[in-house]
Amino acid sequence: MRFWILKILAKQVWQNTIKSRSTKVLIVLFNALLLFSVFTGYFTMKNHHENTEHYHTKVREGWEKSPDKHPHRMAHYGYVAFRENYPLSFFDFGMDSFLGNAVFLEAHRQNTVNFSEASFSSGLLRFGELSCALILQLLIPLLLIFWGFDLIAKERENGTLKILLTQAISWQELIWGKTLGLFTLSLTVLLPAFLLSTLLIGLNMESHTGVEPLARWVFLAFLYLIYILIISLLVIFISAKSQSSKSALTQLIGCWLVFTLVLPKISQVVGQNLYHSPSKIEFDTAIEAELIKLGDSHNPNDPHFSALKDSLLKAYGVDSTHKLPFNYGGVVMQEGERLSAEVYNRHQKQLVRTYESQQDIVKKTAIINPFIAIKNISMALSGTDYANYQDFQKQTEAYRYQLAQHMNQLQIKLISNQKRKPTEKNYSISQKYWASFPDFEYRFLSLETVLKSEVYSFLAMAVWLWGLGFLVKNQERKFKA
């Protein structure tokens, strides 16, 4: 292909389209829509961050100022961990609004993450929020269809296509030239939003994330440009294959509906039917049933804990738990916590595998649906997909277990084994022991981890771009003027 020919064809598309009044109106409207979505998303994220910081500070102050008490009571006093938004979440809201933002951490119990935005909003939220990513994924392709459906089909109808091809221009040059022209037109809408997003990311650099958000954004913006190029090439290819502009428009609208509505819904339903996930009640009941079989730390006659007591008495050569050189109740609580955590983690891993299997069905459709590919990549890099939420759950559970076992260790070491008389105050220890316990600090998934998780989506986009280029080259003889 000759570059100067591509340049001439692209320039022709630009000049013929940009002079239209409707095109200028659409450019202004879409720029306003994208810039508005970027601004509102950014201020929503900043507001969430400020609220999270405010309540996190209050929780920490309450924890540190809690008076002297028994460490087991402090374990049940609990802690609250808050899920922070990633600096790129203003660009793509993803699943953030439907996932919880805070979780109460206490001994012997794994609570769910609560207080999602959806729980406080009307049912209209299920139709989606106006994020910049949503506009780029759904509405920009419609704009490209409107601009490009007749770029070749109309020339065929007018009879000018034959004249164009007789001037030693190949079909490949024609299609790629028109594609580049359509892609260049899209930049009038994309670039202002991309530049504003870059500026806001630079202003919102967080110390605990460093320059990684900017690196993610550069990578994400590049992939969105690839996505728009794929859509542009698909629009021009179908326009070249169609006998009329009306036929091209019908086919393109059909493709848009299949890609954005039909295939995603079908893949979700298939995934849920193939891999059934238990309800919250079923999940909790299964854990409770297994725990009862393993041992009940609150039942002194439980076989498991009776065996634990007998082994300790024998090891220390005493005949009563009150004669042990440490607090026996703390040992029981420590063992009970270990058992409950092991059972919960095992069931949780199985549940996550089920969700991942459901998601794999959706991800695999990316090979026939570029919309799914860019959607998955966008959420992952913006830190708003389910993997990031699941990682938050893992970190909070690890912190909860560490906190509970730390309190159990304090009870074992610092609380006497002798029972207090009814007239005496209960045992307590100084609040300095929990005031010095480290604060919960959430760590976002690394860029390397995110990229590895979305390899299939990257591959799907590469296959789409290469596949369309291959079709253009190999269908050249079948195109008709």
Query: Per-residue confidence at 172, pLDDT binned at 50, 70, 90?
Result: confident
Of 477, 479, 472, 480, the C-alpha closest to 229 is 472
More confident call, 480 vs 57: 57
Query: Per-residue confidence at 173, pLDDT binned at 50, 70, 90?
Result: confident
Residue 230, pLDDT > 50, answer yes
In angstroms, the CA 67 to CA 56 distance is: 19
Strand segments, DSSP code E, in 301-431 are: none
Q: What is the mean pLDDT of the chain?
A: 88
pLDDT tens digits for 265-304?
999 999 989 998 888 888 888 888 888 888 766 666 778 8
Residue 243, pLDDT > 80, answer yes
- Among 247-251, 270-274, 409-413, 426-430, the minimum mean pLDDT is found in 426-430
In angstroms, the CA 470 to CA 477 distance is: 13
What tokens were used for 164? 């164009």
What tokens were used for 428? 């307590």
Residue 327, pLDDT > 80, answer yes
Q: In 10 A of CB 470, how many CB atoms?
A: 11
pLDDT tens digits for 365-387?
999 999 999 999 999 999 999 99
In angstroms, the CA 60 to CA 175 distance is: 62
Of 363, 90, 40, 91, the C-alpha closest to 220 is 91
Q: Are 43 and 217 in contact (CB under 8 A)?
A: no
Using DSSP's 3-state secondary structure scheme, residue 79 falls into strand
How does 90-120 read in b/e, with b if 16+ C-beta sit within 10 Å? Answer: bbbbbbbbbbbbbbbbbbbebbebeebbeee
What is the rounded average pLDDT of the residues 331-353?
90
In angstroms, the CA 194 to CA 200 distance is: 10
How much is the pLDDT for 184? 95
How much is the pLDDT for 119? 54
pLDDT tens digits for 125-162?
444 568 999 999 999 999 999 999 988 888 888 888 88
Domains in the chain: boundaries: 3-478
pLDDT tens digits for 59-109?
999 999 999 988 988 998 989 999 989 999 999 998 888 888 899 999 888
What tokens were used for 378? 């966008």
Residue 239, pLDDT > 80, answer yes
How much is the pLDDT for 232? 96
How much is the pLDDT for 261? 92
- Among 156-165, 202-211, 303-312, 450-459, the minimum mean pLDDT is found in 202-211
What is the rounded average pLDDT of the residues 1-8?
83
How much is the pLDDT for 423? 64
How much is the pLDDT for 116? 66
Degrees to nearest 5, angle at CA 326 with 324 and 327: 100
Residue 393, pLDDT > 70, answer yes
How much is the pLDDT for 124? 46
What is the rounded average pLDDT of the residues 220-230?
97
In angstroms, the CA 214 to CA 197 distance is: 10
Residue 251, pLDDT > 90, answer yes
The string of DSSP letters for 281-343 reads HHHHHHHHHHHHHH--TT-TT-HHHHHHHHHHHHHHT-SSGGGSSS-HHHHHHHHHHHHHHHH
Side-chain-facing half-sphere of 429: CA atoms under 13 Å: 20
